[in-house]
Amino acid sequence: MNDIIGLLLVYGYVAILLFIADKFQDLNISRKFVHIMVGNIIFILPVFKSWWVMTLLAAAPFIPLTFLISPYSPLKIEHKVSSYGHSLGLVYYSISWTLLALLFFDHPWIIAIGIAAMSYGDGLASLIGEKYGKRKYNILGDPKSVEGSLAMFITLLITLPLVLFYYQKPVTWPIIFAIAATATIIEGATPKGLDNITASAGAVAVYLLI
């Protein structure tokens, strides 16, 4: 029963986000709204009781679903959230969540750390960077900004303690700082929307190592 409730909450929440996002006139705001707000799925994770339900029924189906609304889809289904920015960004997002669910189902706070890095952190980095970014840098072919990276770092310093508090885990500031800094550096260096995978993986790796 818990797994059914979890599925209903996940799909219902995403459907509501897409409905709201479709009302925005600004394509960038529409995409980033979904990118950031989907991160709130971390508060639904404890509802699930079976790893295969979370992984195969809640997370994995979003890989083909997001691909089908991407420019690469053979069906040519368009939606505002996929028509701006990196065309496969949401697909990478879904892949990342699926891998996290598969590997860390018994430790949902680790899944939450990874999702927070790619949703709240990376989402606000892009939004702030595109709007206010004046100091540009380019490491591997994808322009980023100091302002965007700073926004990501500060965002993670704020949200990661809340995530750990929600899961009743110790909040250790040196670890929080290390995770935020590592995810920010990786996001700044990663091109083509792949930061939805690399920033998440980097954040989780630092947490596990420390």
- The pLDDT assigned to 76 comes to 60
Q: What is the DSSP letter of 148?
A: H
- The pLDDT assigned to 79 comes to 54
What's the token pair of residue 185?
């550096």
- The pLDDT assigned to 78 comes to 58
The neighbour count for residue 71, using CB atoms within 10 Å, is 10
Give the Cα separation of 183 and 188 in Å (integer). 9
- The pLDDT assigned to 73 comes to 61
Give the Cα separation of 163 and 155 in Å (integer). 12
Phi-psi label, residue 148: left if phi above 0, alpha if psi -120 to 50, beta otherwise: alpha
pTM of the model: 0.92
- The pLDDT assigned to 4 comes to 97
Domain boundaries along the sequence of the chain: 2-209
Q: What is the pLDDT along the chain (210 residues), one digit of tens a residue?
A: 999 999 999 999 999 998 998 888 887 788 889 889 999 999 999 999 999 999 999 999 999 988 887 766 676 655 555 545 556 788 899 999 999 999 999 999 999 999 999 999 999 998 898 888 889 998 887 889 999 999 999 999 999 999 999 999 999 999 999 999 999 999 999 887 788 899 999 999 999 998
